Amino acid sequence: MLGATKEKSTVIYFLCSAAKNGSFHILNGGAKGDLEFTQTESTYDDINRLESFYETLNKSLKEFDKTQDKVYSTINKHKFYGNEHKNSFHWFLRKEKNANVVCIYLSVKILQAKSVDYYSIIKILGDGIKKHLL
C-alpha cells in the first residue's frame, strides 16, 4: 500500500463497523467523543473541504433515506470513534507520504442493504468524495 500511495495524495480509508452507532462515521484524527473535526493533528489538511463533504453527504443521505429508523442516514464525526492513535495505518500513510487521509466507517446495514439502496448510497458517497475531497 505504501508503494501505491503517491506523495501528498488523498486516501479514503474505508472500514466496516458492526456497532449500532450510526450508518457512517467520518474521521480525521480526532479523539472519541469529539463532535467536530479536529483542527490540529488532523489526517486531512483542508478542514473546510472535509466539512463540506460531511454536510453534503449528511444532506444527501437524509433526502434519500426513507427507512423508518433512518438506518442509512445517521452520520457522525468522532462522537463514537476516535482515530488519534499514531500507530494506526492511516497515520502511517500520513507520516510516510504526507497523504490526506479520511477514514470512513460504514455500517454493516449499508453493506447488507437491498441492491437498489446500496448502489444509491454508494453513488451518493462517491459523488461527495469526488466533489469535495479529491
How far is residue 97 from each of residues 4, 10, 21, 42, 116, measured CA to CA in Å?
Answer: 10, 10, 32, 14, 37
Q: Where are the domains of the chain?
A: 10-133
Q: The sheet that has 100-107: what strands, in order across it?
A: 10-17, 100-107, 24-27, 75-76
Record the pTM. Answer: 0.93
pLDDT value of position 24: 95
C-alpha to C-alpha distance for 46 and 14, rounded to whole angstroms:
19
Spatial contact of 120 and 29, defined as CB atoms under 8 Å apart: no
Q: How confident is the model at residue 18 (pLDDT cuts 50, 70, 90)?
A: confident
Average pLDDT on 11-24 reads 88
pLDDT band for position 56 (cuts 50, 70, 90): very high
Beta-carbon contacts of 46 under 8 Å, excluding residues fewer than 6 positions away, are 100
**What integer is the mean pLDDT of 49-70?**
97
User: Under a CB-based contact definition with an 8 Å cutoff, are residues 91 and 85 in contact?
Assistant: yes
